[in-house]
Chains A and B, each alone.
Chain A
Amino acid sequence: MINSNDILETIKMIQDENLDIRTITMGISLLDCIDSDIDASCRKIYDKITKAAENHVKVGVELEKRYGIPIINKRISVTPISIAAAAVPRSQCEPVKFAMVLDKAAEETGVNYIGGYSALVHKGFSAGDLELIKSIPSALSSTERVCSSVNIGSTHAGINMDAVGLMGKIILEAAEKTADDSCFGAAKIVVFCNAVEDNPFMAGAFHGQGEPDVVINVGVSGPGVVRAAVAKMQGMRIDEVAEQIKRTAFKITRMGQLVGSEAARSLGVPFGIVDLSLAPTPAVGDSVAHILEEIGLEKCGAYGTTAALALLNDAVKKGGVMASSHVGGLSGAFIPVSEDAGMIDAVRTGALSLEKLEAMTAVCSVGLDMVVVPGDTPSEIISAIIADEAAIGMVNNKTTAVRIIPAIGMKEGQTLDFGGLFGSGPVMSVNKFSPSAFINRGGRIPAPLQSLRN
Chain B
Amino acid sequence: MRAVITVVGKDTVGILAKVTGICAESNANVMDVTQTIMQDLFAMTMLIDISALKTDFGYFSDTLKSLGNDMNLQIHVMHEDIFNSMHKI
Q: Do A and B bind each other?
A: yes
User: What is the interface of chain A, defined by CB distance below 8 A to chain B?
Assistant: 1-4, 6-11, 15, 62, 65-69, 251, 254-255, 257-258, 262
Smallest CB-CB separation from A259: which chain B residue?
B82
Q: Select one of B47, B76, B77 contacting A2, CB under 8 A.
A: B47
* Min distance, Cβ A17 to any Cβ of chain B, angstroms: 13
* Min distance, Cβ B30 to any Cβ of chain A, angstroms: 12
Contact call B6/A7, Cβ cutoff below 8 A? yes
Q: Select one of B74, B77, B78, B86 contacting A254, CB under 8 A.
A: B86
Distance, CA A1 to CA B88, complexed state (A):
12
Distance, CA A73 to CA B11, complexed state (A):
36
Contact call A11/B6, Cβ cutoff below 8 A? yes
With a cutoff of 8 Å between Cβ atoms, the chain A residues found around residue B81 in the complex are 67, 258, 262
Contact call B43/A6, Cβ cutoff below 8 A? no
Q: Within 8 Å of chain A (Cβ to Cβ): is B57?
A: yes
Q: A66-B79, A258-B81 are in contact. List 20 more A-B contacts (CB 8 A).
A: A2-B4, A3-B87, A6-B83, A8-B43, A10-B82, A10-B86, A10-B87, A11-B6, A62-B58, A65-B57, A67-B78, A67-B79, A67-B81, A68-B61, A68-B79, A69-B82, A251-B86, A255-B82, A255-B85, A262-B81
Residue-wise, chain B 63-84 has the 8 Å CB interface mask toward A (1 for contact) of 0000000000010111111111
Q: Within 8 Å of chain A (Cβ to Cβ): is B39?
A: no
Interface of B is mostly: strand
With a cutoff of 8 Å between Cβ atoms, the chain B residues found around residue A6 in the complex are 83, 86-87
With a cutoff of 8 Å between Cβ atoms, the chain A residues found around residue B34 in the complex are 1, 4
Q: Within 8 Å of chain A (Cβ to Cβ): is B45?
A: yes
With a cutoff of 8 Å between Cβ atoms, the chain B residues found around residue A258 in the complex are 81-82, 85
Distance, CA A229 to CA B69, complexed state (A):
29
Q: Within 8 Å of chain A (Cβ to Cβ): is B40?
A: no
Contact call A7/B85, Cβ cutoff below 8 A? no
* Min distance, Cβ A365 to any Cβ of chain B, angstroms: 23
Contact call A66/B86, Cβ cutoff below 8 A? no
* Min distance, Cβ B36 to any Cβ of chain A, angstroms: 8
Smallest CB-CB separation from A67: which chain B residue?
B82
Q: A7 with B77: in contact, given A68-B82, A69-B82, A258-B85 (CB under 8 Å)?
A: no
Q: Select one of A3, A9, A68, A254 contacting B76, CB under 8 A.
A: A68
Contact call B58/A65, Cβ cutoff below 8 A? yes
Contact call A1/B32, Cβ cutoff below 8 A? yes
Smallest CB-CB separation from A19: which chain B residue?
B86
Distance, CA A147 to CA B29, complexed state (A):
48
Question: Could you show 19 A-B contacts with beta carbons less than 8 Å apart?
Answer: A1-B47, A2-B4, A2-B45, A4-B43, A6-B83, A6-B87, A7-B6, A7-B45, A8-B45, A9-B87, A10-B78, A10-B86, A65-B61, A67-B78, A68-B61, A68-B79, A68-B82, A69-B82, A255-B82
The number of chain B residues touching the other chain, given as a range, is 20 to 34
With a cutoff of 8 Å between Cβ atoms, the chain A residues found around residue B79 in the complex are 66-68
Distance, CA A7 to CA B43, complexed state (A):
11
Contact call B76/A11, Cβ cutoff below 8 A? yes
Smallest CB-CB separation from B47: which chain A residue?
A1
Q: A2 with B43: in contact, given A67-B78, A68-B77 (CB under 8 Å)?
A: no
* Min distance, Cβ A252 to any Cβ of chain B, angstroms: 8
Contact call A8/B4, Cβ cutoff below 8 A? no
Distance, CA A262 to CA B84, complexed state (A):
14
Distance, CA A255 to CA B36, complexed state (A):
27
* Min distance, Cβ B34 to any Cβ of chain A, angstroms: 5
For the complex of A and B, list the 6 residue pairs with the smallest distance between their C-beta atoms, beginning with the closest.
A68-B78, A6-B87, A65-B58, A258-B85, A254-B85, A67-B82
Smallest CB-CB separation from B31: which chain A residue?
A1
With a cutoff of 8 Å between Cβ atoms, the chain B residues found around residue A62 in the complex are 58
With a cutoff of 8 Å between Cβ atoms, the chain B residues found around residue A262 in the complex are 81
With a cutoff of 8 Å between Cβ atoms, the chain B residues found around residue A66 in the complex are 57-58, 78-79
Distance, CA A254 to CA B83, complexed state (A):
10
Smallest CB-CB separation from B61: which chain A residue?
A65
With a cutoff of 8 Å between Cβ atoms, the chain A residues found around residue B85 in the complex are 254-255, 257-258
Smallest CB-CB separation from B33: which chain A residue?
A1
With a cutoff of 8 Å between Cβ atoms, the chain A residues found around residue B45 in the complex are 2, 4, 7-8
Distance, CA A6 to CA B80, complexed state (A):
11
With a cutoff of 8 Å between Cβ atoms, the chain A residues found around residue B4 in the complex are 2, 7
With a cutoff of 8 Å between Cβ atoms, the chain A residues found around residue B87 in the complex are 2-3, 6, 9-10, 251
Distance, CA A4 to CA B77, complexed state (A):
14
* Min distance, Cβ B89 to any Cβ of chain A, angstroms: 8
With a cutoff of 8 Å between Cβ atoms, the chain B residues found around residue A254 in the complex are 85-86
Smallest CB-CB separation from B74: which chain A residue?
A15
With a cutoff of 8 Å between Cβ atoms, the chain B residues found around residue A4 in the complex are 34, 36, 43, 45
With a cutoff of 8 Å between Cβ atoms, the chain B residues found around residue A67 in the complex are 78-79, 81-82
